[in-house]
Structure 1
Amino acid sequence: MATYKKRGYKPKTKKEKEEIVEENSTTAEVFNTLDEGASKTEEWVVKNQKYIFGVVGAVALVVLAYLGYNKFIAEPQQKEAMNEMYTAKKYFDDAVSGISSDSLYRMAIDGGEGKYGMVDIAREYSGSPAANLANYYAGISYLNLKDYENAIAYLDDFSSDDKMLGPIAKGGIGDAFVQLEQLDKGLEYYEKAFKANVNEFTTPMYLLKAARVAIDLGQNDKALEYLKRIKSEFSASTEASQTDVLIGQVEASL
């Protein structure tokens, strides 16, 4: 146990004198070690300062390049892409409203009036949010034109956390696979669609589609699970009115 000694204390015995000499020696050794360590650190910094400044400079350049890219390239590019999309989006909206649907879906894809279509925007502005959204519109347009391979390709390139667009894109891929008679893939994407976001619109819709395909595939236990979920969790949905008959059919076959 260490013993506290007052300032000015003078050793009385030979043993105490030896202890104080030893303590002073140890303290001096510690400071010498620290001094040597500091000297070595300083020597290393001096020796490698070009390398250190190079690393610092490189990091600064990366940060500045990122900020510059966002300010002078990404932001103007996104604005330009959204301006280009305006006309194609109008064609798409009119097609959804039922006005000359097929020709307008085609114009939404290919463009018109000297403006890009969704395919052009997806290609020319690749990597931008506008290009991502263009993939969605192109995919849905192809789906309505019964071009199922292109519908799958463009919808698969679209990604979103939006509670509607995300599930609808997955469900659209499911619709395309079902039309191509690839029922197992259709079921897979319907399941992805109703799991992507739980809401009163898309969830019961894709649960019902998944249940119907599961019945066709002979997966009656899965179909029954999905139908009962619609009935219990989404009883106010339009899909719920169709579940009783289907549940009866499935239970009769089990």
Structure 2
Amino acid sequence: MATYKKRGGKPKTKAEKQSQLEENSTTAEVFNTLDEGASRTEAWVEKNQKYILIFIGAVAVCVLGYLGYQQFIQEPKESEAMNEMFQAQQYFEQALTAPAKDSLYNLSLKGGEGKYGFLDVIDNYGGTKAGNLANYYAGMAYINLGEYQNAINHLDDFKSDDVMLGPLAKGAIGDAFVQLGQNEDALGYYEKAVAQSDNDVTAPRFLLKAGIVAMNLNKTDVALKHFKRIEDEYATSPEATKAQLYVGQAEAMQK
């Protein structure tokens, strides 16, 4: 039959007495070690209390400063920038459908009626979301004006994770490089546009453009890869029918 040692009972044998003494000694050592560690920590804190308080104060100042900056400086500046850009956006939207496009695109860039254009917003509110968006609008306006290097400069400055605007900006840079006769650069930006977002609108559009440019560069393997991806992944897109035709052309070029 198994026997169990009752905790708290008195030791009966010499061995049990020795064991209890060792156990009590070990426990005491543990507590002494903890006490010594706590004492050293307290001593260190007491010795360095001034520096600790300075550090805590500095962190608090940084946090409060950041929150204050966001609330009292950045947010009002963001709102002001959006208001200043409103008229430029109106000119840009009118240019999309108006007969006299160039004059309206120029107004959107340089301003009119005493209001800022996109270039003014970029210069005066460069660190805001509106200033960033103004780079997108300015780039698109310059493409429509045929000023392709200016378009590239502004679109390259535009940063966005948006699933539509991001790839549209990259693809527009590709379009500008095509107009400048720099097809290698154009191909790279079309592929970046596809890589940034595989949505059903922009991805097949820029895959098709990438394939066409690749064919012009005699990169038929690359072209076929892009065209066949449209067939496989975007079969219902408007670009799918065109991709089928280009697949035949690219395969004929390989023979």
Same fold flag (TM > 0.5): yes
Instruction: After TM superposition, give the deviation of residue 44 of structure 1 in Å.
Output: 0.9
Q: Give the gaps of 5 or more residues in structure 2.
A: none
Aligned to 1:63: 63
- Per-residue CA deviations over 1:181-220 (Å, capped at 9, x if unaligned) read 1110000011111222223322222112111111110001
Distance across 2 between alignment mates of 1:18 and 1:49: 46
For residue 208 of structure 2, what is the amino acid of its counterpart? L
Instruction: After TM superposition, give the deviation of residue 13 of structure 1 in Å.
Output: 4.7
Instruction: After TM superposition, give the deviation of residue 154 of structure 1 in Å.
Output: 0.6
Change (3 A) 1:15 1:190: closer
Change (3 A) 1:224 1:13: closer
Change (3 A) 1:13 1:243: closer
Distance across 1 between alignment mates of 2:16 and 2:229: 86
Question: With structure 2 as the length reference, what TM-score do the two structures score?
Answer: 0.90
Aligned to 1:125: 125
Aligned to 2:163: 163
Aligned to 2:8: 7
Aligned to 1:202: 202
> Which moved further from structure 2: 105-114 or 13-22?
13-22
For residue 132 of structure 2, what is the amino acid of its counterpart? N
Aligned to 2:26: 26
Aligned to 1:137: 137
Quick check: 1:46 aligned with 2:46?
yes
Kindly tell me the number of residue pairs found equivalent between the two proteins: 251
- Per-residue CA deviations over 1:111-159 (Å, capped at 9, x if unaligned) read 1111111112122112211111101001111111111111111101112
Which residues in structure 2 correspond to 1:211-250 (within 5 Å)?
A: 211-250=211-250
Instruction: After TM superposition, give the deviation of residue 84 of structure 1 in Å.
Output: 0.3
> Which moved further from structure 2: 86-95 or 190-199?
190-199
For residue 226 of structure 2, what is the amino acid of its counterpart? Y
Q: Give the gaps of 5 or more residues in structure 1.
A: none
Q: Identity of counterpart residues, as a percentage?
A: 57
Instruction: After TM superposition, give the deviation of residue 99 of structure 1 in Å.
Output: 3.9
> Which moved further from structure 2: 214-223 or 98-107?
98-107
Distance across 2 between alignment mates of 1:236 and 1:19: 82
Question: With structure 1 as the length reference, what TM-score do the two structures score?
Answer: 0.90
> Which moved further from structure 2: 86-95 or 200-209?
200-209
Which residues in structure 2 correspond to 1:73-152 (within 5 Å)?
A: 73-152=73-152
Distance across 1 between alignment mates of 2:138 and 2:110: 9
Change (3 A) 1:166 1:19: closer
* Secondary structure class of the residue paired with 1:112: coil
Instruction: After TM superposition, give the deviation of residue 227 of structure 1 in Å.
Output: 2.0
RMSD of aligned Cα (Å)? 2.0
